[in-house]
Amino acid sequence: MKFVLAPDSFKGGMTAKEAAAAMHTGLKKVFPEAVYETVPMADGGEGTVQSLVDTTDGRLVTKRVTGPLNTPVQAQYGLLGDQQTAVIEMASASGIQFVNDQTHDPLVTTTYGTGELMLDAMSQGVKTIILGIGGSATNDGGAGMAQALGVKLIDEKDHELGFGGGQLGQLDRIDTSQIDPAVAVTKVMIASDVTNPLVGPNGASAVFGPQKGATPDMVEALDANLQHYADVIKRDLHLDLANRAGAGAAGGLGAGLLAFTHSQMQRGIDIVVEYSHLKQRAKGADFVFTGEGGVDFQTKFGKTPYGVAQATKSVAPNAPVIVLAGNVGKGIDSLYSKDAIDAIFPIVPGATTLDQAIADGPQNLFRLAENVGRLIRSTAFNRK
């Protein structure tokens, strides 16, 4: 019998690797002779670096870079086992965790540190960068990232722009003549499920700006600045990005990546499925176990359990997909289908506090995996 164990992390409690290990321990008590494929997963958001490093036997790289408030921060990215691919979470360098209610200001926050991480990865000789762009503190259209790569954003007085979305209204021209040569030979895969355009009522500033501290007046100014930025990009680089789906992701970092790098956007879960070789490893599976901290109706829209189910059912259509979740929310009926999820179980055995549930997560996951395994064994025995 073959089991595929492909969970996401349980936020605050277990990494994807630790969750898979708990599943493995529980199932192995019931099926000690079974074959197990352990594939730590993620959906392009938090935990993607660790999951892909774990599943490919890669390594983490720590780098001191420029944080969103133009102060030094420690950030990490992953080098995958193939030594040709890096995986970066932009939040590691430019994330909202580096600001608070007193310091958040999307007029000044910058993605420069994200660009520094990209350059460092390129210096390692990678040919592909997987870049997850959730959790940003920024609204600068990726201008800081571009500046770190060597792009010159020049104002009317022939000075380079300062940091932040508040500066983009002063942009007069773009000079890419000094961009780092490695950028031209590096493919950037943007892991994002966000489809918002750069500007307008559904754009980066209007939708995400208030979460980053933007007042209504700031939103108006930032949106006007991003429109101007898009106009200059269209004139100088011949790229029309203002209304491009996904360009508004991470405060417009999506637009900056599309403008200044060889990049393409994909759903985060699809990228992780590809680079973890999940489909190849799921061939011949009898059962697939996946899961994450919370499962509800939103799981259908790019989250790990649903993506794992679709990927594995494409190569092992008769293998039931079983989801073990820290919390089961509303609307899960929409997740069930013959081409996706077959069963969903909460791992928490009874009433408890959130802190206790997180602390007990590995033990609860182990116990539930064992019990589901016993049900599988009993059903198989009865069929005989």
Nearest Cα to Cα of residue 336 among 311, 383, 299: 299
Give the pLDDT confidence score for residue 350 in this predicted structure.
73
SS3 (DSSP) at 215: coil
Give the pLDDT confidence score for residue 360 in this predicted structure.
79
Cα 149 from Cα 261, distance rounded (Å): 9
59 forms beta bridges with: 79
Cα 371 from Cα 8, distance rounded (Å): 20
Q: Are 101 and 117 in contact (CB under 8 A)?
A: no
Delimit the CATH 3.90.1510.10 region(s) of the chain: 48-266
Delimit the CATH 3.40.50.10350 region(s) of the chain: 2-38+299-383
Instruction: Name the packing angle between helices 16-30 and 48-56 (round to 10°).
Output: 50
Give the pLDDT confidence score for residue 215 in this predicted structure.
94
Cβ contacts of 354 within 8 Å, gap of 6 or more: none
Give the pLDDT confidence score for residue 352 in this predicted structure.
75
pLDDT in tens, the chain (384 residues): 999 999 999 887 899 999 999 999 999 999 999 999 999 999 888 889 999 999 999 999 999 999 999 999 999 999 999 999 999 999 999 999 999 989 999 999 999 999 999 999 999 999 999 999 988 999 999 999 999 999 999 999 999 999 999 999 999 999 999 999 999 999 999 998 888 999 999 999 999 999 899 999 999 999 999 999 999 999 999 999 999 999 999 999 999 999 999 999 999 999 999 999 999 999 999 999 999 998 999 898 889 999 999 999 999 999 999 999 988 989 999 999 888 999 999 998 777 788 887 887 789 999 999 999 999 998 865 554
Write the Ramachandran bin of 10: left for phi over 0, alpha for psi from -120 to 50, otherwise beta.
beta
38 forms beta bridges with: 5
Exposure letters 350-363 (e unless 16+ CB within 10 A, then b): eeeeeeebbebbbe
Q: H or E segment at 254?
A: helix 249-260
191 forms beta bridges with: 132, 266
Domain at 48-266: CATH architecture: Alpha-Beta Complex (3.90)
Write the Ramachandran bin of 242: left for phi over 0, alpha for psi from -120 to 50, otherwise beta.
alpha
Write the Ramachandran bin of 33: left for phi over 0, alpha for psi from -120 to 50, otherwise beta.
alpha
* Phi/psi at 183 (5° precision): -60, -35
What's the whole-model pTM score? 0.88
β strands within the chain, DSSP E: 2-5, 35-38, 59-66, 72-79, 85-89, 128-132, 152-155, 171-175, 187-191, 262-266, 287-295, 321-328, 343-346
β strands within 300-382, DSSP E: 321-328, 343-346
State whether the Cα torsion 160-162-164-167 is positive or negative: negative
130 forms beta bridges with: 87, 189
Cβ contacts of 384 within 8 Å, gap of 6 or more: none
Cβ contacts of 213 within 8 Å, gap of 6 or more: 99, 101, 104, 105, 106
189 forms beta bridges with: 130, 264
State whether the Cα torsion 255-261-266-270 is positive or negative: negative
Q: What is the CATH number of domain 2-38+299-383?
A: 3.40.50.10350
